[in-house]
Structure 1
Amino acid sequence: MTTTYDSRKRILVTGGAGFLGSHLCDRLLEQGHEVLCLDNLFTGSKRNIEHLLGNTRFEFLRHDVTFPLYVEVDEIYNLACPASPVHYQHDPIQTTKTSVHGAINMLGLAKRLKCKILQASTSEVYGDPAIHPQREEYWGNVNPIGIRSCYDEGKRCAETLFFDYHRQIGLQIKVARIFNTYGPRMHPSDGRVVSNFVTQALTGGPITIFGDGTQTRSFCYVDDLIDGIIKLMNSEDDVTGPVNLGNPVEFSMNELANTVLRLTGVETSIDYKPLPDDDPKQRRPDITLAKNVLGWNPQIQLEEGLHSTVCYFQELLRTG
């Protein structure tokens, strides 16, 4: 895709120094747009965007979305929020504020600018699902007072705000429900299963599995996910979402651990521990809607994506 000067947009990416945000900044710059990357660096890292700092179409702004922001942009991608249990449970009150106050502030900015805004929501809005796979019309099975509630309910409230702004004032919104995503630039200590398994294997293990390893997850490679997010933002005005974005192919934790061990060439043990509270037993998206309205379907197989991820973590551990 080639962007001419007349079609170039100035795009705000909140959480732009994070795992997903930095890849989104890369892609938008590749398309010829100007990018304003906003991040308070709580979980994001300048390392993720340092290769962009010399680009004249890229600007980094250190800012917390819980405070109002006054900038001029043409589109907003709201990705700001800790997304792993280790990080969002560290300060659960701030996590809820980031989801709710952050949504209010970004929606207010979009209202003033009369611009389109995309919310990065999450599969966590489904909680521990009573149906499988999960479709967008499913309302979820969420514990409102559990240790994961700051993230789950914060994201659910953000979705409510987005749709109320859409219904009440006609704001142009897009809501993506993102399922497990992995790839280079994941935080090595974020507590997510892929980064856990890879770093544990590369540092000598053992690999820790919570539960008996039969619980399943679906894993979407970051490049596929970014494709989906951009397709959703650029979709027809009447496509508001929510739209599931994720890979519908399920793998058990045991299968994932064995694949990581094979790709790293490490021989180590697997340590089984009790399952944490409110941890869902299975999670898989139904992506029929994304296929139909976006023409989107993930292309990268788990082994190919894990190979790139392992290489990234090997280099990260080597260089510090």
Structure 2
Amino acid sequence: MNKRVLVTGGAGFIGSHVCEMYVAGGYDVLCVDNLTSGKVGNLQGLMGHTRFQFVKEDICNLVGMRYLFETFQPHIVNHHAAQKSVVASLENPMDDLDTNLNGLLMLLACIQKYPIEKFIYVSSGGALSKVIVGDEKSKESDMPQLISPYAITKYAGENYVTIYAKAYDFDYTVLRYANIYGPRQIPDGECGVVPIFVNNILANQPSVLMTYPDMPRGCTRDYVFVEDVVEANRLASEKATNTVLNIGTGQEIAILDIYQAILNTFDKEVPIMMEGPRIGDVKRSVLSNDRAKKILAWYPRTSLEEGLLSLKKAIRARS
């Protein structure tokens, strides 16, 4: 019997790649997405496949989600649906709370009635970074800064999953993502700095870089290619870890350097403007991936140059 996996947020940038991985791996996949930011077009390669089905539904709708659990009866829940913007969480913390915590609790309520084997919870390594000093990297055991509502809801979600896993006897893995980039990513605020830069560069329009006085090249981030993230999801689906894992490259890159790398990849020269810092920004973020290497045997395989070239090819294929 094929394993059945329910993927929330499966029509989104990362979730759609995850759905493709599951179908290719022989899983039966139910993709659930309310299409707030996800797109059915991201799933065009899966539509009509005998092992894949898509349902437009909101994870906050308990009645609708209970029906899907009852009829599909997943073995694995892969929870990618989220309000993912730090800035949006500051502007509308109630919406952030509703999607990121109430939505999670709806899923966990369904699991109480319809037991599962594994739960994969997507969290944020960037928002949950500690204060970085020198050559340090954020480890899973470090206390995060928690300087935005988004960080608070994601961290609370991790703890809810841990409690429910023990109470209702399922395995879990928390995947704390670094900054992910790749095909299908939308230019959505700080969550999508790479596609924002790419779109502006291709249109020969200047971009804006938020800087601090002591960080003239902008905040630093850890950028990981989406295919490497998908591999982490595959491994987490096959092995019970029952812990939190950072999924990043362990390499700290200033945002201005990302911009320059994109210019080089697309062979363009377009200026960038500097502005002051943004409220809620983590200044420095880089993740230690030692635990993921040890427990999952996961390694980031794609260099920034290779990832940007793959993105360039995908953009050309679409146009």
TM-score normalised by structure 2 residue count: 0.89
Q: What is the match of residue 23 of structure 1?
A: 17
Aligned letter for 1:172?
D
In 2, are the aligned partners of 1:207 and 1:257 still within 8 Å (CA)? no
Over 3 Å counting, the alpha-carbon distance change for 1:127 and 1:277 in structure 2 is: farther
Q: SS of 1:111's equivalent? A: helix
* Conservation of the 8 A alpha-carbon contact between 1:128 and 1:281: no
For residues 200-220 of structure 1, what are the alpha-carbon distances to aligned partners after superposition, in whole Å with 9 as ceiling and x for unaligned? 111112132111224321110
Q: 1:51 aligns with which of 34, 45, 48?
A: 45
**Structure 2: stretches of 5+ with no match in the other structure:** none
* Residue from 235, 244, 247 that aligns with 1:245: 247
Where does residue 113 of structure 1 map in the other structure?
114
- Structure 1 residues 258 and 133, CA, compared in 2 at 3 Å: closer, same or farther? same
Q: Deviations over 1:277-312 (max 9, x none)?
A: 121121111111101111011000101101122333
What is residue 151 of structure 2 aligned with on the other side?
152
| Preserved contact between residue 199 and residue 313 of structure 1 (Cα < 8 Å) | no
Paired residue secondary structure (2:45): helix
Q: How do residues 89-238 of structure 1 correspond to structure 2 at under 5 angstroms?
A: 91-115=92-116, 116-127=118-129, 129-130=131-132, 132-143=136-147, 148-149=148-149, 151-191=150-190, 192-211=192-211, 212-236=216-240
Distance 1:315 1:282 in 2: 34
Whole-angstrom CA distance in 2 between matches of 1:90 and 1:15: 22
Contact 1:76 1:110 in 2 (8 A): no
SS at match of 2:98: helix
Q: 1:198–1:310: 8 Å Cα contact kept in structure 2?
A: no
Q: RMSD in angstroms over aligned alpha carbons?
A: 1.9
d(CA) in 2 for partners of 1:96 and 1:168? Answer: 23
CA distance in 2, matches of 1:255, 1:124: 18
Given that 2:87 and 2:279 are in contact with CA atoms closer than 8 Å, whether structure 1 keeps it comes out as: no
User: How far is the alpha carbon of 1:89 from its aligned partner?
Assistant: 5.6
- 1:246-270, CA deviations, whole angstroms, 9 ceiling, x for partnerless residues? 1112222222111111111221112
Q: What residue identity is the alignment partner of 1:222?
A: V
Percentage identity across paired residues of the two chains: 27
- State the distance in 2 between where 1:244 and 1:87 align: 24
Range with greater deviation from structure 2 (37-46 or 111-120)? 111-120
CA distance in 2, matches of 1:125, 1:138: 13
Superposition deviation, residue 314 in structure 1: 4.8
TM, length-normalised to structure 1: 0.89
In 2, the alpha carbon distance for the partners of 1:88 and 1:27 equals 30
The separation in 2 between residues aligned to 1:198 and 1:83, in whole angstroms, is 20
**How much has 1:61 moved relative to structure 2?**
0.6
Match of 1:12 in 2: 6
Structure 1 runs of 4+ aligned residues shifted over 6 Å read none
Give the letter for the 1:265 counterpart. Answer: D
Shift of 1:57: 1.2
Q: Which amino acid aligns with 2:196?
A: N
Unmatched 5+ residue regions in structure 1?
1-5
SS at match of 2:273: strand
User: Distance between the aligned counterparts of 2:222 and 2:27, measured in 1?
Assistant: 32
Which of 264, 267, 280 aligns to 2:266? It is 264
Distance (whole Å) between structure 2 residues aligned to residue 208 and residue 179 of structure 1 = 22
Cα distance, 1:243 vs. partner? Answer: 0.8
User: Number of aligned pairs?
Assistant: 304
